[in-house]
Amino acid sequence: MNPLLDKLHPYPFERLRALTKDIAPNPAYRPISLGIGEPKHPAPKLIEEALMASLKSLSAYPATAGEPKLREAISAWLQRRYGLSLDAATQVLPVNGSREALFALAQTVIDPRRGGAGTGATVVCPNPFYQIYEGAALLAGAQTAFANSDPARNFAANWSQIDETTWARTQLLYTCSPGNPTGAVMPLEEWEALFALSDKHGFVIASDECYSEIYFRDEAPLSGLEAAAKLGRSDFRNLIAFTSLSKRSNVPGMRSGFVAGDAALIKKFLLYRTYHGSAMNPMVQAASIAAWNDEAHVVANREEYRAKFARVTPLLAQVLDVALPDASFYLWAGVPAHVCGGDDIAFAQQLLAQYNVTVLPGSLLAREAHGLNPGAGRVRLALVADQAECLEAAQRIVEFVSSFSSK
């Protein structure tokens, strides 16, 4: 058995289930979950129709590189969205959702024998973080280093916490912008600093951008690829961006996305994926072409989130430390000190027991680093259900928190 499997941590939702298994929620309330970031808006009809129309394509093996029409559709979307001109044949690759690709890239680029200065190959992650980053690093034979989110900077990762010795042995850096769970968007100056570190130490940057199409500012979030182009890095050296249809188009079950960037890295990644058996289903490819070629459903989806957040956020802000994020579909809410002692796990447990609302404790999304767990004392609220259900959940949370004030 691979001994590296023993290094993996339980997933946050497994830990939450263990922490709540003996809780009997109040039966006076129907269950509402704000715990899992699974889009609940309806899938667009054009995607469903494209899937059904391509049933006969199942009689042939798909190529790992994907159909040229799909890569061209992705390249055209990158041009429309970011003004970028990428070669569809060498700089774009379809993947079965960003999750599997984020994991697989670490297996492609990490050389555990090459540690440089220090104790071994290192993967740097934001903290809190999407747990795939850590699992990918550990199973690639690397160790992890974490940059904590900074509340004073809209919960952006504090990359200055990573010392020079750690950067010297870093082979892969995961970024997430817009961030999960904080919704923070990385500005151009932050990208410039990370590119300089990548040039100095030779590490690859994996830019997780799966929430890029759900945003609340007038200005759309900056892509890592877009930042590179603005800074004259037209070859996107040592940079791979990851984008998914799951959130953009409300099709998490379709498992479709793409990677784009450095052609040399894409070539090696394609080689790995060919052996790993990662070809995209032909029906999914056809549906993905339809999705990337249409923007109307994305605009409608974004407006639905904006309307929902505009109503829910002020309501919760009456009782929690929470504000509208830059982007994504999460609220990153602070637990008041007088409520459950400010303990995020106790908050989640008591809220479930008394009001049958599930939220995810922030401490389960982070690791102890630099003397603290940056997720402690906060909860992640996924506003993925329809507006009425999210409002009902928010009203229950207000009642729950207010009950402490009256004691």
Instruction: Please calculate the CA angle 198-200-202 and round it to the nearest 5 degrees.
Output: 55
| Partners of 241 in the β-ladder | 207, 260
What is the signed CA dihedral for 59, 60, 61, 62, rounded to 10 degrees?
Answer: -110
Question: Amino acid identity, residue 372?
Answer: L
Per-residue tens of pLDDT for the chain, all 407 residues: 999 999 999 999 999 999 999 999 999 999 999 999 999 999 999 999 999 999 999 999 999 999 999 999 999 999 999 999 999 999 999 999 999 999 999 999 999 987 654 568 999 999 999 999 999 999 999 999 999 999 998 899 999 999 999 999 999 999 999 999 999 999 999 999 999 999 999 999 999 999 999 999 999 999 999 999 999 999 999 999 999 999 999 999 999 999 999 999 999 999 999 999 999 999 999 999 999 999 999 999 999 999 999 999 999 999 999 999 999 999 999 999 999 999 999 999 999 999 999 999 999 999 999 999 999 999 999 999 999 999 999 999 999 999 997 55
| Partners of 332 in the β-ladder | 380
Dihedrals phi, psi of 319, to nearest 5 degrees: -130, -15
Do residues 126 and 174 make contact, with C-beta atoms less than 8 angstroms apart? yes
CA dist., res. 393 & res. 143, Å (int): 39
As given in the structure block, the two tokens for residue 71 are 């890569």
Sorted by sequence, the CB contacts under 8 Å of residue 368 that are 6+ apart come out as none
pLDDT at position 120 is 87
| Rounded (10°) angle between helices 282-292 and 45-53 | 150
Q: Whole-prediction pTM value?
A: 0.96
Which domains, from first to last, does the chain contain? 3-42+297-405 (3.90.1150.10), 55-294 (3.40.640.10)
Which position has the token pair 């990428």? Answer: 86
Which position has the token pair 């945003």? Answer: 215
As given in the structure block, the two tokens for residue 68 are 């040229």
As given in the structure block, the two tokens for residue 135 are 């699992």
Count of C-beta atoms within a 10 Å radius of residue 342: 15
Beta strands in 158-261 (DSSP E): 170-176, 204-208, 239-244, 257-261
CA dist., res. 129 & res. 146, Å (int): 9
3-state SS assignment for residue 334: strand
As given in the structure block, the two tokens for residue 196 are 């300089």
pLDDT in tens, 334-384: 999 999 999 999 999 999 999 999 999 999 999 999 999 999 999 999 999
| Partners of 95 in the β-ladder | 257
pLDDT in tens, 236-254: 999 999 999 999 999 999 9
Sorted by sequence, the CB contacts under 8 Å of residue 335 that are 6+ apart come out as 320, 321, 342, 343, 344, 347, 377, 378, 379
CA dist., res. 168 & res. 346, Å (int): 40
